[in-house]
């Protein structure tokens, strides 16, 4: 890392420390924690775009799948729901999978009238699937709907749910990559955009899976909660001896704990990514990115390598999504928005520097900091600008709209970087 890059990182660290000094340490640690998660997401996108030139705008979908994995593994199971319809739902899923696999197999074997055969198989399979699935879904959703109404999870430790989130996202990415990779870059973009929307639609509507828009709350935390800390032996005394209020001290302690966990994940991933970037594999990826035809002529299997890196990058996004849901302690499918979870990550990668892992990490921290802080800054700016205006509708409207300054600011930031420093703050080398 060059001195200039280290300086940029120091600058971001300073910004976070300043937040702590000027606003509150709780806020500063919130920014830090989400910054760590954002940096991991940016690493995932950087792997796909920066290393291999794959244009994935379905980040939101993979992040959401990571969150879903937490809800369906770390939550305690709901035995009544399982006995009401668990087996039947699983059978329906098997039928659906078998139908699709069968359709693909028939299509590949090229029998006569394969179009009709495949269509018939899909219709029959769909009817059978709905016959199995519909009653099971209703039965599951009828079990204690105010609190559960879903199958619940597997009750495994939440830290194990993080790699599972990565695996789930990787599985989805494999399916998507099998169908959509090999399309031209902007077709792939539109395909991934659509898949992300579908994943969110499924998570919002399939109540039996993770309660849909009713949200899964109370996801177990890998760390003791703030209240447990406060009640713990001698915590209040120790906090008092440092001159801190026990409530603030406990929330800060919990956030510090998360920061440690997230930082560990980020460092592991960053080391792996750096090793990958400088390995023969990384060089091959960049060669494919820069000239597919030449790489193919050298005997590289471009489609396979693309699939590989697409799956890996999506898995990283899934891990980050699982971490985020754990941090929030709840899964809220209604809050996944493409601007926040797909395009903002892209701003991070572009601003930070695509093709450079440090750049992506820096972009993650910096853009997340701005995303959080532009709103109060906008409020202050509008407040100052309108202070001379008489009280009235216009002033109220302007003050109320200040919150949307941040979308505008992110766009302007991205356009400025693209124009004047198209390789980002820490360019690829």
Partner 1 sequence: MDALNAIVAFSNFVMVPALAYGAQLALGALGVTLIYGILRFSNFAHGDTMAFGTMSVILFTWLFQGWGLSLGPLPTALLALPFGIALCAVLVLGTDRVVYRFYRAQKVKPVVLVIVSMGVMFVTNGLVRFIIGPDDQRFADGERFLISARTFKQMTGLDEGLAIKTGQALTLVIAVIAVALLFWFLNHTRTGKSMRAYSDNEDLALLSGINPEKVVMVTWLIVAALATVAGTLYGLDKSFKPFTYFQLLLPFFAAAIVGGLGSPLGAIVGGFVIAFSEVMITYAWKKVLGYLMPESLEPSGLVQLLSTDYKFAVSFVILLVVLLFRPTGLFRGKAV
Query: What minimum distance in Å lies between the beta carbon of 350 and partner 1?
Result: 6
Torsions phi, psi for 162 (to 5 deg) = -65, -55
Residue 184, interface with partner 1 (CB under 8 A)? yes
Residue 412, interface with partner 1 (CB under 8 A)? yes
Buried b vs exposed e over 155-183: b needs ≥16 C-beta within 10 Å?
A: eeebeebbebbbbbbbebbeebbeebbee
Q: Please provide the size of the chain in residues.
A: 429
Q: 347, exposed or middle or buried, with CB in 10 Å at 0-12, 13-18, 19+?
A: buried
Judged by CB under 8 A, the chain residues 202 through 231 that form the site for partner 1 are 204-205
Judged by CB under 8 A, the chain residues 35 through 54 that form the site for partner 1 are 53
Residue 194, interface with partner 1 (CB under 8 A)? yes
Query: What minimum distance in Å lies between the beta carbon of 380 and partner 1?
Result: 16
Cβ-contact 27, 164 below 8 angstroms: no
10, 18, 201, 264: which one binds partner 1 (CB under 8 A): 201
DSSP string, 46-105: IIIIIIT------HHHHHHHHHHHHHHHTSPB-HHHIIIIIHHHHHHHHHHHHHHHHHHH
> The tokens of 164 are what?
């599972």
Residue 187, interface with partner 1 (CB under 8 A)? yes
Distance CA 294, CA 291 (A): 5
Residue 14, interface with partner 1 (CB under 8 A)? no
Query: What minimum distance in Å lies between the beta carbon of 428 and partner 1?
Result: 15
Where does this chain touch partner 1 (CB under 8 A) — which range of 66-74, 79-87, 147-155, 191-199? 191-199
Residue 380, interface with partner 1 (CB under 8 A)? no
Judged by CB under 8 A, the chain residues 96 through 115 that form the site for partner 1 are none
Residue 135, interface with partner 1 (CB under 8 A)? no
Distance CA 191, CA 183 (A): 9
Buried b vs exposed e over 276-293: b needs ≥16 C-beta within 10 Å?
A: bbeeeebebbbebbeeee
Cβ-contact 188, 49 below 8 angstroms: no
Query: What minimum distance in Å lies between the beta carbon of 166 and partner 1?
Result: 24
Residue 138, interface with partner 1 (CB under 8 A)? no
Where does this chain touch partner 1 (CB under 8 A) — which range of 141-149, 159-167, 194-202, 307-315? 194-202
Residue 303, interface with partner 1 (CB under 8 A)? no
Judged by CB under 8 A, the chain residues 162 through 181 that form the site for partner 1 are 179-180
Q: Which contacts (CB < 8 Å, 24+ apart) does range 93-98 have?
A: 95/125, 95/128, 95/129, 95/132, 96/125, 96/129, 98/125
| Residue window 320-359: x/- pattern of binding to partner 1, with contact defined by CB under 8 A | -----------------xxx---x--xx--x---------
Give contact residues for partner 1 (rule: CB under 8 A).
53, 55, 126, 134, 179-180, 183-187, 189-191, 193-195, 197-198, 201, 204-205, 337-339, 343, 346-347, 350, 397, 400-401, 404-412, 414-415, 418-419, 422
């Amino acid at each position: 890392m060059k001195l200039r890059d280290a300086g940029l990182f120091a600058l971001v660290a300073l910004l976070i420390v300043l937040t702590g000094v000027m606003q509150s340490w709780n806020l500063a640690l919130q920014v830090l924690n989400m910054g760590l998660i954002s940096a991991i997401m940016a690493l995932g996108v950087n792997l796909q775009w920066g290393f291999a030139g794959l244009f994935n705008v379905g980040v939101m979908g993979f992040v959401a799948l990571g969150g879903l994995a937490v809800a369906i593994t770390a939550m305690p199971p709901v035995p009544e729901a399982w006995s009401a319809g668990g087996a039947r739902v699983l059978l329906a899923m098997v039928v659906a999978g078998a139908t699709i696999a069968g359709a693909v197999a028939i299509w590949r074997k090229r029998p006569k009238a394969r179009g009709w055969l495949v269509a018939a198989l899909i219709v029959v399979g769909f009817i059978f699937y709905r016959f199995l699935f519909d009653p099971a879904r209703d039965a599951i959703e009828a079990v204690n709907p105010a609190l559960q109404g879903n199958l619940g999870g597997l009750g495994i430790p939440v830290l194990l749910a993080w790699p599972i989130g990565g695996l789930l996202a990787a599985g989805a990415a494999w399916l998507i990559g099998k169908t959509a990779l090999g399309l031209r870059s902007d077709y792939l973009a539109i395909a991934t955009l659509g898949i992300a929307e579908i994943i969110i639609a499924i998570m919002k509507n399939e109540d039996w899976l993770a309660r849909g828009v009713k949200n899964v709350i109370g996801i177990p935390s890998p760390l003791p909660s703030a209240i447990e800390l406060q009640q713990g032996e001698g915590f209040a005394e120790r906090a008092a001896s440092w001159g801190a209020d026990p409530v603030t001290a406990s929330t800060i302690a919990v956030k510090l704990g998360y920061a440690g966990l997230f930082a560990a994940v980020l460092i592991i991933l960053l080391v792996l990514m750096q090793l990958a970037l400088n390995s023969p594999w990384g060089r091959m990826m960049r060669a494919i990115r820069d000239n597919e035809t030449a790489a193919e002529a050298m005997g590289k299997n471009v489609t396979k390598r693309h699939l590989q890196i697409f799956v890996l990058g999506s898995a990283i996004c899934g891990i980050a999504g699982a971490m985020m849901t754990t941090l929030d302690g709840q899964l809220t499918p209604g809050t996944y928005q493409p601007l926040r979870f797909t395009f903002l990550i892209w701003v991070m990668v572009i601003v930070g520097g695509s093709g450079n892992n440090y750049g992506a990490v820096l972009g993650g921290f910096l853009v997340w900091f701005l995303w959080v802080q532009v709103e109060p800054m906008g409020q202050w700016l509008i407040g100052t600008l309108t202070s001379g205006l008489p009280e009235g509708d216009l002033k109220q409207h302007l003050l109320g709209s200040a919150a949307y300054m941040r979308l505008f600011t992110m766009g302007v930031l991205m356009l400025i970087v693209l124009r004047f420093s198209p390789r980002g703050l820490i360019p690829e080398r």
